[in-house]
Amino acid sequence: MKNLIEPHGSSTLNPLFIEDIQKRERILQDADNMKKVLINSAAAANVVMLGAGYFNPLEGFMGKNDAFSVAENLVTENGLFWPIPIINLTKIDDNFAVGEKIALLDPNIEGNPIIAVQEISEITSLNDDELQLLTHKIFGTTDTEHPGVANFLSLGNVMLAGNIQVLNYSYFPEDFPGTFYTAPEIRDMLAKANWGTTVAFQTRNPMHRAHEELCKMALERVEADGVLIHMTLGKLKDGDIPGDIRNKAIEKMVELYFPENTVMITGFGFDMLYAGPREALLHAVFRQNCGCTHLIVGRDHAGVGDYYGPFEAQENFDLDIVKKSLKLKIFSADHTAYSKKLNKVVMMRDVKDHNKDDFVLLSGTKVREMLSNGEELPEEFARKEVAEILMKYYQSL
């Protein structure tokens, strides 16, 4: 049996979901008598990630010192490498007391059931300058046209810190059966498949030919046992394709165009931040927690608009603190395009003898336009069977 890579920051995973059913019931009963807070979707996504072991070894929401230390220096006060503050920001200051336990209500399920219990270790009101500083450090900008910035600045300025006990995984298991998995479950799957070297591919979109070839290149070049296609299942920005459609398209592509037993299709319950370079580092942390040894980091990874340089995310992995802290390595990908000369998708840096007329390039915007108009996508860009699923969706809008 091949050994799996160790989780980040500890020798074993520490998921915060309460597995013991009776204990969970007792906590739920106690929570009925606690003060309750309807948290926002961003905090609820953090709860799910903490519960599912993705944010190992964190034990809850960060306080002010940890949050600002992470924002400024990529480490918590006690020196743990961490790329983005994991915080419970709210607009509610409900006379809570330090040491008090409160019930966190899920904003994403009708009736707002209790998703977790938090023991408050610190209550901090951030002023505008502090919020702006945090925003700038996380997103590299404070421009509210950036969807991640706009969302972050809408959450509130009261930070509730403290350890949590997670009681459920929100809507993810029900809405994405067979796709949503926790970090311990993925580690078990990799161990059973005897995959010692696993490449993770992060996606919030359906996979086109370029993505497919990128996974195949990584598989071959790092001599991996398999690829973990790992989808963002949480809230996306307007215009992104919903999870169920994306899932269907990816399953079809894997079934028809990948060698058997080389791909696992999974998803995680997190809302996209669109924080580019910082979010790429977070993606690496939680892929290591899943047991992956490599993460594909391509052009404008987790970015949006023109806020980040095309390879800024890759450059972050050259920082000393990152190299010292992460066991996972990245597979750096260049622009990919279809080569008319070679009749296949290539990384553009690998074909020095090509000029721009030798490539077929299509923008995501152009593709969406074509699909909406019922136009067939070029074979060079998308597999026919995948394009059919997407076209059907676009024409139903």
Cα gap 273→237, rounded to integer Å: 9
| Catalytic annotation, pick one of 56, 204, 209, 289 | 204
Cβ-contact 198, 293 below 8 angstroms: yes
Tokens 């503050």 correspond to what residue?
A: 85
| Amino acid at position 183, single letter | A
Q: Which of 205, 299, 349, 355 is catalytic?
A: 205
Whether 204 is catalytic: yes
With beta carbons less than 8 A apart as the criterion, state whether 378 and 362 touch.
Answer: yes
Q: Is the peptide bond before 57 cis (omega within 30 degrees of 0)?
A: yes
**Catalytic: 168?**
no
Contact 64, 135 (CB under 8 A): no
Active site residues: 204-205
